[in-house]
Amino acid sequence: MMIVFCFLLAPIFSYVRLKANSVIAAAILRGSLNATTGLAIMVVKGKGDLFVGVTGAAGFIVLVIINLSIFIFERFINKV
């Protein structure tokens, strides 16, 4: 699960790093992700690790949507 999570998260970190032209923005994003990852596990009851949290199915769906949004925005909308 963690490999898929990292694979889906890498384009977002790359996009933030390129747009900010600094690694500081990507580091802040990583720190905020680390700080909030445990919240879903503490708050949500029920399903196992496969479905709950950022590294679960719900998190994967959100990351895929964000990656597709970045791709569409950069490819078709933000033509410079």
pLDDT tens per residue, range 17-29: 999 999 999 999 9
pLDDT of residue 46: 67
pLDDT of residue 1: 82
Range of the domain at 21: 2-75
Is 67 part of a structural domain of the chain?
A: yes
Question: 50 to each of 31, 37, 43, 47, 69, how far by Cα in Å?
Answer: 23, 14, 16, 8, 24
pLDDT of residue 58: 84
Is 80 part of a structural domain of the chain?
A: no
Is 68 part of a structural domain of the chain?
A: yes
Is 21 part of a structural domain of the chain?
A: yes
Please state the length of the chain.
Answer: 80
The tens digit of pLDDT for each residue in 28-71 reads 999 998 888 777 677 777 666 677 777 788 889 999 999 999 99
Tokens encoding 13:
């970190």
Number of domains in the chain: 1
Quickly count helices (H) and strands (E) in the chain: 3, 0
Q: Tell whether pTM > 0.85.
A: no
